[in-house]
């Protein structure tokens, strides 16, 4: 009984000393693990250490008195005193160290597994919420694809801004809405969307290129300087994000080719001269940039051989043969580097 009692007291104190502490994140929302046991352990540890240091003589006196009382059952009380005192001390510290090590090693592992489980559950809940969020956004985009109107396009983006915090996801949704509007040939709405959400959404370089192309289509049919300015602004925004992006550069070349064609039809030497100067400037810029810009610009031009811009490709090849050759040579330079 003496051994068991001494071991139990030591084990209890060892457990109190050994309880691991859980680090809590700074959270203002949600439910966190109950840390009362850890706080109680800290409190009792400080009390025990404090009392033990201040009242150490009293503690030794209590142990000595207990050993003396228990040794009365021995034939030789002095021998009994030594045996009882050693038994009390040995089993106390044995219980203390066994319980302390169990708390530090196994209990810590149990706590950590519990924390990891909570984190996995939280991550799973976040993933489920993200999937539901993505599903809702995709459903909205599918609906817009089937029943496209300008109002619906604005509605999808407004709803996404209200529900989605991830700016990359907002960028992706905006890209897709612009893509749908472009498929529907609703170039004016593309401009309205860009103006409305330019400061609210991080518009990607690819989408700025689409906006530039929408303005080019509008300029080609209206000859309004508003849209020619729109081509330049959107193209520059695209290249501000991605310096060596070739498609915006080719869109600006197309703008110059449209100006050149209009100048020819109007017999306007000034417009023709300005178009030539603008195209030369763009080609010089491409020559001074990484060859990837020429590669993308030339590839984009080739893709337009079977579109409404095929006539401008022909003008570029014939009326601007020198500039075309420079672009083609830079394109081939990139191919040789990549080989």
By mean pLDDT, which of 110-114, 224-228, 283-287, 331-335 is the weakest?
110-114
pLDDT value for 162: 87
Mean predicted confidence (pLDDT) in 294-317: 94
- Most confident option among 67-81, 151-165, 208-222: 208-222
Mean predicted confidence (pLDDT) in 104-120: 71
- SS3 sequence of 298-314: HHHHHHHHHCCCHHHHH
Mean predicted confidence (pLDDT) in 34-59: 58
Count Cβ atoms below 10 Å from residue 23 Cβ, excluding itself.
6
pLDDT band at residue 107 under the 50/70/90 scheme? low
Q: Please, what is the average pLDDT of the chain?
A: 81
pLDDT value for 29: 45
Query: How does pLDDT run across 198-243, given as a tens digit for each residue?
Result: 999 999 999 999 999 999 999 999 999 999 999 999 999 999 999 9
pLDDT value for 34: 45
pLDDT value for 109: 74
Residue 170 neighbours by CB under 8 Å, 6+ apart: 160, 161, 164, 201, 202
Mean predicted confidence (pLDDT) in 26-49: 53
Domain ranges of the chain: 2-20+36-111, 204-339
Count Cβ atoms below 10 Å from residue 321 Cβ, excluding itself.
10
Mean predicted confidence (pLDDT) in 106-127: 68
Mean predicted confidence (pLDDT) in 189-194: 95
Mean predicted confidence (pLDDT) in 82-96: 73
Contact 259, 271 (CB under 8 A): yes
pLDDT value for 90: 73
pTM of the model: 0.63
Residue 18 neighbours by CB under 8 Å, 6+ apart: 99, 100, 101, 102, 103, 104, 107
CA distances (Å), 127 to each of 131, 133, 164, 205, 304, in order? 6, 10, 14, 28, 41
């Amino acid at each position: 009984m003496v051994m068991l009692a001494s071991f139990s007291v030591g084990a209890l104190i060892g457990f109190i000393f050994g309880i691991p502490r859980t680090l809590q994140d700074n959270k203002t929302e949600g439910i966190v693990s109950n840390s009362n046991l850890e706080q109680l352990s800290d409190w009792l540890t400080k009390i025990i250490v404090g009392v033990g240091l201040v009242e150490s003589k009293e503690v030794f006196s209590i142990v000595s008195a207990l050993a003396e009382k228990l040794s009365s059952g021995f034939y030789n009380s002095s021998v009994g005193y030594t045996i009882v005192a050693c038994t009390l001390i040995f089993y106390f510290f044995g219980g203390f160290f066994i319980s302390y090590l169990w708390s530090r090693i196994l209990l810590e592992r149990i706590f950590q597994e519990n924390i990891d489980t909570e984190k996995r559950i939280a991550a799973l809940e976040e993933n489920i919420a993200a999937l539901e969020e993505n599903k809702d956004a995709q459903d909205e985009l599918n609906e817009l694809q089937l029943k496209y109107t300008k109002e619906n396009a604005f509605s999808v983006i407004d709803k996404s801004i209200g529900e989605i915090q991830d700016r990359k996801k907002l960028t992706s949704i905006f890209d897709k809405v612009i893509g749908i509007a472009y498929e529907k040939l609703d170039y004016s709405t593309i401009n309205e969307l860009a103006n409305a959400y330019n400061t609210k959404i991080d518009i990607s370089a690819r989408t700025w290129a689409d906006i530039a192309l929408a303005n080019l289509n509008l300029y080609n049919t209206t000859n309004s300087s508003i849209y020619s300015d729109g081509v330049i602004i959107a193209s520059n925004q695209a290249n501000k994000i991605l310096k060596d992006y070739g498609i915006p550069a080719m869109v600006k070349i197309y703008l110059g080719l449209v100006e050149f064609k209009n100048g020819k039809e109007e017999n306007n030497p000034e417009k023709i001269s300005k178009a030539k100067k603008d195209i030369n400037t763009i080609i010089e810029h491409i020559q001074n940039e990484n060859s990837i810009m020429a590669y993308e610009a030339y590839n984009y031009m080739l893709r337009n051989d079977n579109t409404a811009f095929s006539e401008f490709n022909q003008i570029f090849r014939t009326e601007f043969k020198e500039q075309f050759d420079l672009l083609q040579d830079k394109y081939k330079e990139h191919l040789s580097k990549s080989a």
